A and B are shown apart, each in its own frame.
Chain A
Amino acid sequence: MGDSPPVGSDHVGGGVHRAPNGCEDRAVASEKVDPLHQFAIVKILPIKVGGLDLSFTNSALFMVLTVAAITLFATWATTSRALVPGRAQSVAEMLYEFVATTLRNAAGQEGMKFFPLVFSLFSFVLFANLFGMVPYFFTVTSHIIVTFALAMVVILTVVGYGIWRHGLHFFGLFVPHGVPMALIPLVTAIEVISFLSRPISLSVRLFANMLAGHITLKVFAGFVFSLGALGGIGVVGSLLPLAMTIALTALEFLVAFLQAYVFTVLTCMYLNDAVHPGH
């Protein structure tokens, strides 16, 4: 394996990951179907502060693009401020109405003070998910640290606002009413655990959905190439994974919307606990 020309392998394997290495034979063979390459973080502008690597990466680039896209879309769609909305304005209004209705239904009128936060979360996740559907684009939400940070924003808001607004009553959240005294320690323990698992479930759900969806897409798309490369019957056979890839693409668009929706709905429900901690 050491005999294989390093320059050649470097050249071919360069697109896969930054490891022109010992595994290159395998890497070259499976280059086209390495489904993890799309999640690799690539430094665009290296920044190092102290020991910390704060480089501007492809992930950061797509975060910036996401925010820019939301801003541009929302302002462009509402430039005419039409009484009877056009298509783009309708979409912008629908997003607004959707988040407002969800939040008001879940957390009541008092919950509306979190409207900017929930709208930002929803639009960020939605646009990031949809950006991920563009070929060669990086999916910001396919990294656990990003989704976990977003989930922590929600949970810390719930805890912070709950304690600020209700003081110690906030912890009544963990002690449901109408439970027999003997069961209270057990029920409270369960409630605490379920509360602590919220950021994890909230972040892992989004992360895992985006990750798994993109890997599946890549794997099936890879089958198209590997089968097609065989020629003859392989080309015919490659039609099957091709159809699958097309179907999965549609499914992934659905998932992109659905996960943004689920994230928002759960956020609203958790915020309700901050506003009305009584069960």
Chain B
Amino acid sequence: MAQTPTTHAEVGHGGGEAHAGGFPPFDSSTFASQLLWLAITFVALLWVVSKVILPRIGGILEARSDRIARDLAEAQRLKAETDAALAAYEQSLAAARARAQAIATETRAALNADMDAKRAAAEASLGARLAEAENRIGEIKARALGEVGSIAIETAEALVSALTSVSASRDEVAGAVGTAMAK
């Protein structure tokens, strides 16, 4: 038992020294093992990183950027297509509009010409009928005026015979009427 404290003191001394000088990070007796295991683990990590991890993540990112690029290109193409369709539509719309314009003008001209012709024809026929009517009126008037003489002679003959008992001859009466009418 007398031995024990001494042993303890010795061990304690050694332990105390290990504690004072043996601040664990500066304990060089552990360096070899730490370096060895660091080398082993770090080389393993390097291998895993370069063979597995980076190709995997890089592949994912590349696939994504490819996909985005492809989608953008597709969108660009579709937009160009739309633009082309729109331009074609506008063009055909303008053409149709121009054609409608032309047809309208043409139709209007044709209708005008037709109308003018019809009007002219109607006017011509009206004029003809007017002239014919005037002719007939003239004829009727002339005939009426012609008959005025004979009516006057008959009236005068009747008057003479009624007023006088003298019966004048038709020729005398006619001569007298003619003279009177000529005045």
Contact = CB atoms under 8 A, between A and B. Distances in A.
Our verdict on whether A and B bind, yes or no, reads yes
A142 B25 contact: yes
B34 interface: yes
Interface in A40-79: 40-41, 47, 52-57, 59-60, 63-64, 66-67, 70-71, 74-75, 78
Nearest to A43: B33
Interface in B16-64: 16, 18-19, 23-27, 29-39, 41-42, 44-46, 48-50, 52-54, 56-61, 63-64
B12 A19 contact: yes
B19 A59 contact: no
Contacts of A39: 23-25
A105 interface: no
Interface string A90-103: 00110011000000
A149 B35 contact: yes
A233 to B, nearest CB: 33
B25 A144 contact: yes
B146 interface: no
Given A52-B32, A59-B37, A96 B61 contact: yes
Interface size class of A (residues with CB under 8 A): 35 or more
B24 A120 contact: no
Interface stretch (A21-29, A174-182, A263-271): A21-29
Interface in A11-45: 17-24, 36, 39-41
Interface stretch (B3-11, B73-81, B94-102, B124-132): B3-11
Contact of A40 (B13, B24, B64): B24
A23 B41 contact: no
A22 B25 contact: no
A19 B20 CA distance: 12
Nearest to B18: A19
Interface residues of B, number: 49
Contact of A116 (B13, B29, B49): B49
Q: Which of A2, A64, A85 has the most CB of B within 10 A?
A: A2
Q: Is the interface of B mostly helix, strand, loop or mixed?
A: helix
A6 B35 CA distance: 36
A67 B44 contact: yes
Given A83-B64, A93-B61, A149 B38 contact: yes
Contact of B19 (A23, A89, A145): A23
B14 interface: yes
A120 B51 CA distance: 12
Given A60-B37, A120-B42, 10 more contacts: A41-B30, A54-B32, A59-B34, A63-B38, A66-B45, A70-B49, A71-B52, A96-B54, A96-B61, A117-B46
Interface of A: 2-3, 6, 17-24, 36, 39-41, 47, 52-57, 59-60, 63-64, 66-67, 70-71, 74-75, 78, 81-83, 85, 89, 92-93, 96-97, 115-117, 119-120, 123-124, 142-146, 149-150, 153, 207, 211
Interface of B: 4-6, 8-9, 11-16, 18-19, 23-27, 29-39, 41-42, 44-46, 48-50, 52-54, 56-61, 63-64, 67
15 contacts: A2-B8, A6-B8, A19-B19, A21-B13, A41-B33, A47-B33, A53-B30, A60-B41, A64-B37, A71-B45, A82-B60, A117-B46, A120-B46, A120-B50, A150-B42
